[in-house]
Structure 1
Amino acid sequence: MAKVIGLGGIFFKSTDPISLATWYKNHLHVPIENWGGAAFYHNEKPTPSYHVWTPFAQSTQYFAPTNKDFMFNFVVDNLEQALLQVTHGGGQQVGIIEDSEFGRFGWFIDPDGNKVELWQPSAIPPEN
């Protein structure tokens, strides 16, 4: 029987996908490729991390202040610097940085109005 072995990608609509991809390339160094998206290879991650897939209740406020039905998460190597870069590029930081057993988290709204979570993982991922 086949099984899921990881998160393959996040796909979403944008009113101007080229501009939005360029914004992420300029402000978070997302490695945008010629086809318009990015591929993240595990050998390029500076710290151990993993992909998660989590359905939320329809009533969740976790994606607030947006009214979008999704939010995506990027692993970063320096959370404070990444948030500074996106705010200097016109993004809007949401809330304060939070520390947890999984690492540090911060959020911002991108130019398309998407809420994005940035995650700086702990040195060692928690066990199941």
Structure 2
Amino acid sequence: MKRVTGIGGIFFKCQDPEKIKQWYKTHLGFDMDQYGAKFEWQQGEDSINKGYTLWSPFSDKTKYFEPSSKDFMINYRVENLEALVEELKKEGVTVLDNIETYDYGKFVHILDIEGNKIELWEPID
């Protein structure tokens, strides 16, 4: 069974998300939306099937990364999230919440052995 297939996003805390987005747009050319910047790429040799990695600043007051006290969170793309979560539970991995489904995919959060919160995402491509 495949587990992680790629990095879905890099999320980090900052004092002023809008200001930092503007800085990255101005100085590094990031194309921003309400969440941050999407870096599109081609999946495999099929140039029609695109994916993306999201770069997203969060307020330094966000609770979204809890229970981790770290200033970052990595989102990993996965296949078959339900099966993966069952395997992770069997392996003793801390699963923080139930799988949630949105228009753009399924999500769940886990902790690694150092207490870093990790977001697992099964995208709807």
Q: Which amino acid aligns with 1:68?
A: K
CA contact 1:49–1:75 (8 Å) conserved in 2: no
Q: Which amino acid aligns with 1:6?
A: F
TM-score (norm 1): 0.58
For 2:70, the equivalent position in structure 1 comes to 68
For 2:106, the equivalent position in structure 1 comes to 104
What stretches of structure 1 of length at least 5 have no aligned partner? Answer: 8-40, 124-128
CA contact 1:102–1:122 (8 Å) conserved in 2: yes
What stretches of structure 2 of length at least 5 have no aligned partner? Answer: 1-26, 31-37
CA deviations 1:18-72 (Å, max 9, x no partner) are xxxxxxxxxxxxxxxxxxxxxxx9429xx75310000000111111111111111
Distance 1:57 1:2, change over 3 A: closer
Q: What does residue range 3-22 of structure 1 map to in structure 2 within 5 Å?
A: 3=29, 6=39
CA contact 1:92–1:109 (8 Å) conserved in 2: yes
Distance 1:58 1:95, change over 3 A: same
Distance 1:3 1:113, change over 3 A: same
Aligned identity (percent) is: 35
TM-score (norm 2): 0.60
CA distance in 1, matches of 2:81, 2:50: 15
For 1:52, the equivalent position in structure 2 comes to 54
In terms of fraction of residues, the more strand-rich structure is: 2
For 1:22, the equivalent position in structure 2 comes to none
For 1:122, the equivalent position in structure 2 comes to 124
CA distance in 1, matches of 2:91, 2:70: 22
DSSP-derived class of the 2:72 partner: coil
For 2:95, the equivalent position in structure 1 comes to 93
Q: Which amino acid aligns with 2:39?
A: G
RMSD, aligned α-carbons: 2.7
